[in-house]
Every structure is written in structure tokens, then in C-alpha cells.
């Protein structure tokens, strides 16, 4: 899913699960954290794949094992461990907000996407998530 929009489209058109509801590690679709396709796209910052999966019916508020949503993953990836900003992840978080991701959801620890943005000092996203 990391930049392979045509491949993702082919998989979806041939019946690949958009929700990846299989048990963790049952297939290659979910990893240890139980991330589904939208979580992986939020991680990679691929806007074209995000649009494709949402148009095909993927759940914009799907949860992984830590109860994180794709929006939370996109916000988390907007500032890398080295401190650098990731424009593509910031844009993807903005895109998820515009597509009506639920801003009130919290993860297993009670943190929201807004909390993630504040912790990472992402002022632009803090403003968007505070609406």
C-alpha cells in the first residue's frame, strides 16, 4: 500500500477485505498491532490510496488492537522520531478530518488524535482537531 495505488485497486476489486477483520497474524493483512488497510495507508501517507479505499467503503474510524484510528496513526506519523515533520502525513491527517473522521474517538489509553497532535507540537493539526 506504500505508493501502489493500482495494486491496491486491483486487490480491492478482486475481493480483498477493506476492514481486515481477520484475526491478527491470520493473514498478511494485519500486523502485530492489528492495523487494517487504512491504518497502513495513514502510516505511509498515501493520499491516493486513502481516497480509493474510502470510496470503496473502508471504515474511516476503524480501530486496531490499541483502539487507534487511521487519523491517530496519521497524526502520530506527522512528526518523525528524529523531530522532522512529514508533510504527506500532515496532509493525510487533514484529508481524514475533511472526510469526517470522528475527532472524539480515543485509544485504549484514553488519548485522542488531538492529544497526539499536542504531544507532538503539531500546531496546524491542533487547530484543525480543536474545532
Does domain 5-129 bear CATH number 1.10.357.10? Answer: no
Distance CA 98, CA 57 (A): 16
Q: What is the pLDDT of residue 97?
A: 96
Average pLDDT over residues 95-112: 97
Please count the helices (runs of H) and the strands (runs of E) in the chain.
7, 0
Query: Which residue, chain included where needed, has cell 498491532?
Result: 33
pTM over 0.85: no
Domain-wise residue ranges, the chain: 5-129
The closest alpha carbon to 64, from 102, 94, 19, belongs to: 19
Q: What is the pLDDT of residue 32?
A: 63
Amino acid at each position: 500500500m506504500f505508493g501502489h495505488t493500482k495494486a491496491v485497486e486491483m486487490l480491492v476489486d478482486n475481493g480483498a477485505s477493506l476492514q481486515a477483520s481477520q484475526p491478527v497474524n491470520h493473514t498478511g493483512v494485519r500486523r502485530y498491532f492489528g492495523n487494517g488497510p487504512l491504518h497502513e495507508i495513514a502510516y505511509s501517507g498515501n493520499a491516493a490510496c486513502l481516497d480509493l479505499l474510502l470510496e470503496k467503503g473502508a471504515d474511516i474510524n476503524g480501530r486496531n488492537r490499541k483502539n487507534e484510528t487511521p487519523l491517530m496513526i496519521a497524526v502520530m506519523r506527522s512528526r518523525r522520531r528524529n523531530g522532522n515533520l512529514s508533510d504527506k502525513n500532515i496532509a493525510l491527517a487533514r484529508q481524514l478530518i475533511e472526510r469526517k473522521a470522528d475527532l472524539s474517538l480515543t485509544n485504549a489509553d484514553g488519548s485522542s488524535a488531538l492529544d497526539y497532535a499536542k504531544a507532538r507540537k503539531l500546531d496546524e493539526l491542533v487547530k484543525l482537531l480543536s474545532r
